[in-house]
Chains A and B, each alone.
Chain A
Amino acid sequence: MTIVDLKEIAAKFKERPLPGRKLYIWHGSKEKLLGYLPADNIRELDILQIAPQEGIDEPTQIRKRVKKAIAQKLEEYILNLKGQQILVVSNVYLLARYKVPLISLYEIYFSDKTMVILVVLKGKVDIRLPDYVSFEDNATLKYLKEVLPEEHRSNVIEEV
């Protein structure tokens, strides 16, 4: 997919609900993405913001809590949904980091009036890392492609 396709879809979506589960992965900066989208349909969901803040050090718990928090947020959004809504999800790396499933989107949020764009920042490490450290800059994308169903895993739009 290209940004042109996405913009076209977003424009149509602004006009009318579009049938189906619409999920796209934006591989680039959120700001740039927002610049392409119609502002009045946007709702942002920052995973980092909704993730539990108190100290939990067990990954299982973190996964469950984040999953729950997302579900709650999505319930809230869907209950208050008026017209079409594009949900721009940022800090998605957290999902990958704790293997948080995306089932909430599929069980709660998706509808003809909703669209989800997962923002995956392009990994950049400015500093030189020690040799024993390997930085996997596409880990989030890799996770998403693994978890997402076939219909969505190829909906990746690269920022150019």
Chain B
Amino acid sequence: MINVPIGELIKRVSERPEGTILLSRAIGTPEKTVNTYRFTPNIRGWIEEILEKVSTGRGGGYWVQAEYGAGKTHFLAVLTCLLMDTSKELWDKVKDEEIKNFRHRLEKIKLFPVILSLKGEAGVDEEDNLLKVIEDRIEESLEKVGLENKISITTEDEVIDWYKTRPATFRNPIDDFIRGKTDINPENLGKRELSQLIIEYCKATSFRPEITTSTKDRISHIYHQIQGQGYQGLLFVIDEFEAWQRRHPIDSAAYAYDEEVLETLSWILPKDLGLEIFTIVASQAPAPAKLRGEKEDRFTNVLLLRDEREYGEIVTERVRELVEERQPEIDQYYEYYYNEFRFLRSIPKEYFYSIFPFQPRIFEAIRRITIARDLPTARLGISVIYEVIGNSEVLSRDSLVTASDLMVSKDLCDAMETEVYREAHRAYQSAISSLEEYDLDEEDKELADKIIKTLFLMFVAYKDTPKALSVQELTEATLTSKGILKEGEDNVLRVLNIIRDLPQVYYTKEKGACFKVSERETRPAQIFGTTKKKVKDEYEIKNKWEEGLILDLHRTGGVGEGLFSGFEFEHRIERTAEHKRIEYPGEIIIARSWREEYGAKLDGPHFRVIFMTEDLGLDPEDIEDPRIAVCVPSPLTNAAFEASWDYLAILKMEEDYLPQGGSEAEEIKEWIKTKKRDVVSNLLNKQIGVYREGKIFTKQSIGIDSNKVFSIGKMDRVLDTLIPLLLSNAYTTFFIDASNFRRKFTSSEAKKVFEGLFKGNKSSSATSACDNFAPGLGLVLLENPREFEPEGNKVFEFIKDKLSQTDEIHIWKLYRDLQNHPVGLTKEIVTLQLLAFIRHGKPACEISLKPMNRLDLPGNRINSFNIPDIEWKRKFEEDFDILYPMAGPGWNDVLPLARFINRNLKEATKPDEIKAQEAQLLLSCKTISDRIPHIKGDLKILSDKFAEPVEEKIPKILEGLEKITEASSFTEFYSLTKDYEDIKDDFEIFTKVDTLDKESTELLNMKSYLEGAVLPEKERLYGDRFLLQQRLKLSSLLDNPSLMGSIKAQFESFKTTYKNLYQRFHRDYFKEIKKLREELESATVRIEAISRLNRITELHFSEEKGLVVQFQDLLKNTEPCPNTDPVSVETSPLCPECKLELTRELPKEETKEILSKINKELERRSRKLAQALTKKILEEVKENRLNKLMKVAGIADLRKFAEILNDELISLVNDILKKANIKTESYPVFENLGKRYGLIGEEKIEEIVSAFKEELEKAFREAKKKHIGKKVRISLR
């Protein structure tokens, strides 16, 4: 906050600024006029432009347009002063360095000023036109500078000038005419009368005098005359043009003529004739279109006061000066408001200084108000602001001046009494006076006052286009800063919600706040009052009181909660309360009537509190348990009754207006919303009082002070006070030392302690619970709170005592005794203690569990050993049945048997140790149990592979062991093994079998490898393998699994040698194969040629399928192995790709044989082809390729023959042979001959020849018979 009042930071100008600037008077006091002028950036720009134009001698027109009070007259006056007087004395008064620079440029320019304000102007000599007024004013101006008789201005002047400059011969007839008409000498006549008579003479004689007639000529004529008197140009300054223009309606002749005059001045004469005429017109209205020009190039439109900022700067400048040495404090103001509010975020710091000490919205309000034409003056703003900062209260404040401060101005208040604002002003006054009716504190009242003033001013400022303000805008406008607890906006909203009951204040969240003049017929408050009277019914009011007690936040609209919010009448609600660092469960009932059950003994809950809604005369005898309290209220106070009545009324009003529509109804609904909040708030505030004044009943009438219990109106606090009082009276026997608890013991802590002590839970929550509670519970030693070691535990003593009296105890009785008064342990503590007692094992006890329990413990009982197996669940203690001393073998009894299974097991006495040993035993059993099915399966596979049966006893032993290893506790193990014979031997056999089984995979691999390796008998390895296989017998290995080591070594040695052998063989074999394959592949063309020759049908070649198949088979057998050498035979004895065995031989002979066959067959066929294609045929055909083929055939070059022979040639041969009509037929001539003559001697040559001839002839005969009409050839092959 700032602590410097604004009055110390500013100095109001000594002289009240004149609200009314008159052009002549302002020009008449140039120093004051210039000195008080604020050159805003916008204004500076315009003045510079005009001065620049003057300094460069370019005439033109400017149309200064702005609303009333915008400073047009001051602008004209300053400009005129500066142009008329370029003295240093005057220009030094200019508060703008840039403007000052123009002085030298203007020094030598002398303009003749024609200044006129048209307000109050009446026209001249019946001629109501602007030119006449201007002429009149030029005359006056000339008179002021002593040139009145040297320049002719008006038409009369010109006519008289013309008349006077005529020669006497011309003038005498005119004089005679005048004398004849008037009987007066012309020199005695007035100017106007004389000029009229001259014109009359001219008309009568049809003579046209040489005078100017057009506006252009007339002004130009005047201009030149004035220029002749030492002036460089003319300056026309015309103020209040709108006042003049209003007298001349648009489209009237006068209007058009005025336009022409201004157009001539501003455009025609400067542009067409280059005259230095500067015309500056000020008007509220914009320049007519004609004067602006089509290209906006005639009158330049000068816009003053672009916005509120400029206005603010000007007004502030006129009314105050800043105290320079207090600039740091002003900076402080800036910092404060910049940080606290938003309005400074969007404006430059310099602007803040230029309008200090004002909040910017003040200018928006006053400017918009003062431009309204119905106010007595447009310049009211300056006066008002001046008045405001003359107000001592305003000056004494250390905050900026806001819009609401404007209302201290008498001038503004007077203005508000003008007709147009009177009604609104009266409404405003009514609203302000109504504030007295509200119960507002000083601060709120002040804020309400500000809000109303601000809204009223904005209403007036935006009368035609109403504008509402948001809460944020209103906060900024009123500069409501944040309080200790609330933001500024919250405060504004709160107060706004209160005062919107006023008919003048309208507010909705969506639309914002605004001022309204139209009064509602009836105010909502009045309606509320009427409704309240209507609903006065004590029963209903009592009902609403009771209803109010259980109101929740939703129903109160967030205002608050009823004392018993969250409760229902006559319903038990579970609650917890802390007493002596223990959280106790209990129940709360809100009762409208008393029931017997409310006073009945507690079973489970540790307390019961009944809050009656009214005093029904309770008898304390009805209370059976000292842990029950009944709170009875006092009768309703008047204030409480009134609050309840208000609540009833507002609900009724809300109900009434719910279906109603329309703006007024909507406004009332909004009011109801706000009012309801107040009513509900008041109702809630009254509730605690009646209980504070009431009574609290208990069984033992322990005298609880209701004032103390209900000292704070919060249910939790009430219970926090009441319940410890109840319980401290009821619980007087202490089995645990809760004072040792480090914090509150809640029900969930018991589980954490249990898990920390008994289940090895090392989480932070469990260990922390042990640290905090276990010592107090007597379960651990203080120095080691995480280790279960009970000492002096009174609960244990209590249980032991009970056990000493009986063989078994029903658990529910224990709970009853320990939970009820005077012990008062919670259920969870009892459970924890009970389980700890069992775990402790002194004496060893068990708890039998009820059938269908959820604990899932073996044997359905809890004992010292399975405590850690217990899952602490909700209500699991309900499954506990009976506590009794435990019987059965101890661990050390079981140990001799158990050690057959696990030799490492040791003796143990403590539950933890026993449990650990048992766990080891069970783990060993589990391991064995898991192994047995695998062993069985593996033995079967080994037996099959080795083709050896397994001894019969082994499966039996496995089955026996399988049973005993399924035990789930050491006692069960004991019962299963105590009668088992030869357990020692059986377990030894199992161990051997198990050992071998673990090697079974390797065993199988060795066996398979050896079997798969194909070795030539000649190889030394062949014998090695034999010996190894002899050693690899399943029966001997089962007897002595240790043999596996040496067998494995022997196998590895075998494999190493074998591998080397195999890799070499593989490499060499395929090297040779490759060669053979190449040979075969080279024969492929030939075998294809053989097949191709089959297609020469005339030659009848057999297909030779066998040869082709044989060839292809051999090709396949000589494929290379895809594996690269050296191949791996690590896991398998053969190359996995080619499966090459060491005994396989190369197909060398087969290859040789097939190649020979191919060659022979091809040779045979080529020869036959050659025979068929005779020399004669070949000559006829003249086919080179064929000749080449036959040439090759002739030299028996089979390779070339096969290469040349293609399908095309085959086709050609077929065609040739068909054309030759020759059929070649094979015939077994020699075969037949051979049959007839096996061996022949020399003497039978002739006979043989004869027989040969016979055979040939026979062959031809048969061939011809077969091929009738064909030439036949017999093939002897």
Q: Is the CB of B122 within 8 A of A106?
A: no
Which chain A residues numbered 79 to 108 have a C-beta less than 8 Å away from chain B?
Answer: 99-108
Q: Is the CB of A19 within 8 A of B117?
A: no
Q: Is the CB of B24 within 8 A of A107?
A: yes
Bound form: Cα–Cα A64–B140 in Å: 10
Closest to B376 in A: A20
Q: Is the CB of B117 within 8 A of A103?
A: yes
Q: Is the CB of B22 within 8 A of A19?
A: no
Contact of A78 among B25, B246, B373, B375 (CB under 8 A): B25
Give chain A residues whose Cβ lies under 8 Å from the Cβ of B193: 58
Q: Is the CB of B25 within 8 A of A106?
A: no
Give chain A residues whose Cβ lies under 8 Å from the Cβ of B136: 64
Bound form: Cα–Cα A133–B281 in Å: 44
Chain B positions 9 through 32: 1 when the CB is less than 8 Å from some CB of chain A, otherwise 0: 000000010111011110000000
Which stretch, B377-385, B734-742, B952-960, touches the partner chain A? Answer: B377-385
B119 at interface, CB cutoff 8 A = yes
B251 at interface, CB cutoff 8 A = no
Give chain B residues whose Cβ lies under 8 Å from the Cβ of A103: 116-121
Give chain B residues whose Cβ lies under 8 Å from the Cβ of A59: 125
Chain A positions 8 through 24: 1 when the CB is less than 8 Å from some CB of chain B, otherwise 0: 00001000111111100
CB distance from B314 to the nearest CB of A (A): 16
Given known A19-B19, A20-B20, A149-B243, contact A99–B377 (CB-CB < 8 A): no
Q: Is the CB of A58 within 8 A of B120?
A: no
Give chain A residues whose Cβ lies under 8 Å from the Cβ of B966: none
A47 at interface, CB cutoff 8 A = no
Q: Is the CB of A20 within 8 A of B380?
A: yes
A148 at interface, CB cutoff 8 A = yes
A131 at interface, CB cutoff 8 A = no
Bound form: Cα–Cα A12–B418 in Å: 14
Bound form: Cα–Cα A1–B123 in Å: 28
Q: Is the CB of B121 within 8 A of A147?
A: yes
Q: Is the CB of B122 within 8 A of A112?
A: no
B411 at interface, CB cutoff 8 A = yes
Contact of A107 among B23, B246, B410, B414 (CB under 8 A): B23
B180 at interface, CB cutoff 8 A = no
Chain B interface: which size bin? 35 or more
Q: Is the CB of B122 within 8 A of A147?
A: yes
Q: Is the CB of A106 within 8 A of B117?
A: yes
Q: Is the CB of B22 within 8 A of A58?
A: no
Chain B positions 362 through 381: 1 when the CB is less than 8 Å from some CB of chain A, otherwise 0: 00000000000101111110
Give chain A residues whose Cβ lies under 8 Å from the Cβ of B376: 18-22, 151
A54 at interface, CB cutoff 8 A = no
Which chain A residues numbered 55 to 72 have a C-beta less than 8 Å away from chain B?
Answer: 57-61, 63-64
Give chain B residues whose Cβ lies under 8 Å from the Cβ of A40: none
Given known A58-B190, A106-B117, A111-B18, contact A21–B377 (CB-CB < 8 A): yes
Q: Is the CB of A19 within 8 A of B24?
A: no
CB distance from B299 to the nearest CB of A (A): 22
Bound form: Cα–Cα A31–B586 in Å: 97
User: In the complex, how many residues of chain A place their beta carbon closer than 8 angstroms to a beta carbon of chain B?
Assistant: 37
A146 at interface, CB cutoff 8 A = yes
B126 at interface, CB cutoff 8 A = yes
Contact of B126 among A58, A99, A106, A110 (CB under 8 A): A99
CB distance from B1209 to the nearest CB of A (A): 126
Bound form: Cα–Cα A12–B417 in Å: 13
Bound form: Cα–Cα A153–B460 in Å: 24
Contact of B377 among A19, A58, A102 (CB under 8 A): A19
Q: Is the CB of A12 within 8 A of B414?
A: yes
- Main secondary structure, interface of B, reads loop
Bound form: Cα–Cα A20–B373 in Å: 12
B755 at interface, CB cutoff 8 A = no
Give chain A residues whose Cβ lies under 8 Å from the Cβ of B126: 99
Q: Is the CB of B120 within 8 A of A148?
A: yes
Q: Is the CB of A19 within 8 A of B20?
A: yes
Bound form: Cα–Cα A70–B124 in Å: 17
Given known A19-B411, A99-B126, contact A106–B379 (CB-CB < 8 A): no
Give chain A residues whose Cβ lies under 8 Å from the Cβ of B125: 59-60, 63, 99
A150 at interface, CB cutoff 8 A = yes
Closest to A98 in B: B122
Which of B120, B125, B191, B382 has most A Cβ within 10 Å? B120
B998 at interface, CB cutoff 8 A = no
Bound form: Cα–Cα A17–B382 in Å: 13
CB distance from A92 to the nearest CB of B (A): 13
Contact of A99 among B25, B123, B247, B414 (CB under 8 A): B123
CB distance from B927 to the nearest CB of A (A): 110
Give chain B residues whose Cβ lies under 8 Å from the Cβ of A63: 124-125
Give chain A residues whose Cβ lies under 8 Å from the Cβ of B373: 150-151
Q: Is the CB of A112 within 8 A of B190?
A: no
Q: Is the CB of A102 within 8 A of B122?
A: yes
Bound form: Cα–Cα A20–B25 in Å: 15
Chain B positions 400 through 421: 1 when the CB is less than 8 Å from some CB of chain A, otherwise 0: 0000000000110010000000
CB distance from A79 to the nearest CB of B (A): 10
Q: Is the CB of A112 within 8 A of B16?
A: yes
CB distance from A101 to the nearest CB of B (A): 4
CB distance from A98 to the nearest CB of B (A): 10
Contact of A101 among B16, B24, B122, B384 (CB under 8 A): B122
B1258 at interface, CB cutoff 8 A = no
CB distance from A100 to the nearest CB of B (A): 7
Give chain B residues whose Cβ lies under 8 Å from the Cβ of A17: 16
Give chain A residues whose Cβ lies under 8 Å from the Cβ of B380: 19-20
Q: Is the CB of A112 within 8 A of B192?
A: no
Closest to A59 in B: B125
B240 at interface, CB cutoff 8 A = yes
Bound form: Cα–Cα A122–B119 in Å: 26
Which chain B residues numbered 208 to 251 have a C-beta less than 8 Å away from chain A?
Answer: 240, 243, 246-247
Which of B22, B123, B379, B384 has most A Cβ within 10 Å? B22
16 further interface pairs, Cβ-Cβ under 8 Å (given A18-B411, A107-B25, A150-B246): A12-B410, A19-B377, A19-B411, A21-B20, A58-B192, A99-B122, A99-B125, A101-B120, A103-B117, A106-B120, A107-B22, A108-B24, A111-B22, A112-B18, A146-B247, A149-B119
Name A's B-contacting residues (CB within 8 A): 12, 16-22, 57-61, 63-64, 78, 99-112, 143, 146-151
A-B contact pairs, 5 of them (CB 8 A): A20-B379, A99-B124, A99-B125, A103-B117, A146-B247
Question: Nearest 10 CB-CB pairs, A to B?
Answer: A20-B377, A19-B19, A102-B120, A19-B383, A101-B122, A20-B376, A107-B24, A58-B190, A106-B119, A103-B120
